[in-house]
Structures are given as C-alpha cells and as structure tokens.
Amino acid sequence: MSTLLKPKTAAELRDVYLRQEMMPTIFCDGCGLGNVLNYTLWALDELQVDLDQVVFVSGIGCSSRLSGYVNADGMHTTHGRALSFASGIKAANPNLKVIVFTGDGDGAGIGGNHLLHTIRRNMDMTVILVNNYIYGMTGGQSAPTTPIGGLSTTTPYGNVEYPMDICALALALEAPYVARWTVNQPYPPIKSIAQGIAKRGFALIEMLVPCPTAYGGRNGLKGVEAIWQWYRENTVLLDDFEHIMEFGTLEEQEEIKHKLKVGVLRDTERESFEERWAKLVEQVKL
C-alpha cells in the first residue's frame, strides 16, 4: 500500500471517474463537497475498483448530488431513504459494491432510523456522511447536528437543541468501521475511505465540511479559511487525544477534553448481513 497517491492529475481523475455530462457541479464556491468527491475518487483509484461493479446511492440534499457525478451506476433516491434503497441493492446482489453519499440532515435527520437499522444489520456498504451542520440545499435551516446556539434560518435566535454525535451512534451499534475527518486534511480521509470501501460490513465515514453559503457566514465564519481554522481549533486527532489523556498535563487535558475526536474511531471485523444470509440459505435451501 505504499502507492497510496498515484501521480494521477486532476484531469486524469476527472476523465476516468466523472460523468462529464453532469459537469459543472451545483456546488457553491468554497463548498467542501467537491473535496469529498475528490477524496473518494482518489480512494477508488487507490483500490483500483472496477467501477462497473459499484453503485453510488444517495438521498436528497447538496451532498446527495455526488452520486450523479461519478460515472458509475447511481441512484439518487428520496430524502433520507438512501440506505433503504442501498440495502435492497446490496441484499439482492451482494456482488455489487455500494457506496452511499448522504448528509447530516438526510442521513441522520430524516433518515436517522434507517441509519440506525442499517448499521445494526451490518449491511456491507460504505456510507460517506457529509456533515456541514446545516440544511444547505433548502437555504440554511437547522439540522440535527447544528451546534447549540448555532444560527440558521429556522433558529434565528440561536439553536436550543442538543446536536447529535453521529459517530457515537455508529459505535454504539457496533459498526465495524467508523471514522470522522475534517475536510482540510486530504490524506487521512482518502486512506480512510479506501479502508471503508475495502471493509466487509458497514463503514461510516463522517466528513466535516464547510457550507460557507448556508452555515459559515451566518455563524461568524466568513470564508472557507475561517471554517478550516474552526476545525483546527475544535477537533483533536484521536491518537493525540489518547496520548494527552495518558501523558499530558492537566491543562493540556482540560484543553482537549471537549474537542471533537477525529480519526479512525473503530476498525474491526464483523460478519455482514449478506454473509449471514448466504450461510442461512446454504443451510435451509431445498
């Protein structure tokens, strides 16, 4: 795996992996969704996946447009339900690789129950959940991830609700692969998405990305750089966190205690639904 980043130019990646007829994307300047797409393409390239055998599934929202940009089979479904469609695809044809693009509103808000149960079943799929703390496509309404006090068009005086930790949910439901990354660091997410795609079973990769249009500006984070800076100040690498908690000073520990941990939060093995179902059929088939 020493060849993680092959020297493929952006133009080469585009020609191989993108559906030209869908360009340009709908994304605003500074939106992090393009980065997520870019990282995913690098990961696919790293794994040399046969694109004919991959289905990209998504729900509704800015992030859910990603499925259409990759030149592979794709299904742009209904709001929040991407995982239901994806489960049907994977259960009916386990030979296909399924990659889901979803957002915080789509995947954890309206689709929260499907997220919960798709993880519980351990469907073999990679879910790239793009979290920008807001409903972007509809113009900036509060999401289940909007921080307390966060301003949105529907929390004009500040959000009073507690935000949800999506990775904590996945960990609690024993997803075999869970990772969280911020978009300002390209290399770890590329590696992580590749790990997720290669994983048997449910892999969740939560990507924190800026939505300068609907979230950043309104919340005192004007421009992408301000949001990236916010990520630097408010997140801590899991390895660093553990190291400081063990060896750091009290002040250091105090400083990182409430920061959001990023990194591979779990990487383990667990039999998938498809594997278990195939075994059952093997046992009972006439």
Residues that bind another protein (CB under 8 A): 19, 21-22, 51-53, 55, 57, 67-68, 71-78, 81, 83-93, 95-96, 113-114, 116-117, 273, 277, 280-281, 284-286
Q: Does 146 bind ligand SF4 (CB under 6 A)?
A: no
Strand partners, 54: 97
Consecutive H or E run containing 113? helix 112-121
Q: Does 136 bind ligand SF4 (CB under 6 A)?
A: yes
Q: Taking CB within 5 to 8 Å according to partner kind, which of another protein, ligand SF4, none is near residue 93?
A: another protein
- Exposed e or buried b per residue across 4-19, where buried means at least 16 C-beta atoms within 10 angstroms of its C-beta: eeeebeeeebbeebbe
Q: By the 8 A CB rule, do 133 and 104 touch? A: yes
Q: Please report the sign of the dihedral spanned by the C-alpha atoms of residue 269, residue 274, residue 280, residue 285.
A: negative
Residue numbers 95-134 binding ligand SF4 by CB under 6 A: 132
Alpha-carbon distance of 194 to 49, in angstroms, equals: 10
Q: Taking CB within 5 to 8 Å according to partner kind, which of another protein, ligand SF4, none is near residue 211?
A: ligand SF4
Q: Taking CB within 5 to 8 Å according to partner kind, which of ligand SF4, another protein, none is near residue 78?
A: another protein
Torsion of CA 285, 270, 66, 163, to 10 degrees: 130
Q: Taking CB within 5 to 8 Å according to partner kind, which of ligand SF4, another protein, none is near residue 136?
A: ligand SF4
Torsion of CA 49, 104, 205, 74, to 10 degrees: -10
**Which is closer to another protein, CB of 49 or CB of 256?**
49
Closest separation between CB of residue 200 and ligand SF4, Å?
31
Query: Using CB under 6 A as the criterion, which residues of the chain lie in contact with ligand SF4 when the complex forms?
Result: 27-28, 31, 33, 62, 132, 136-137, 211-214
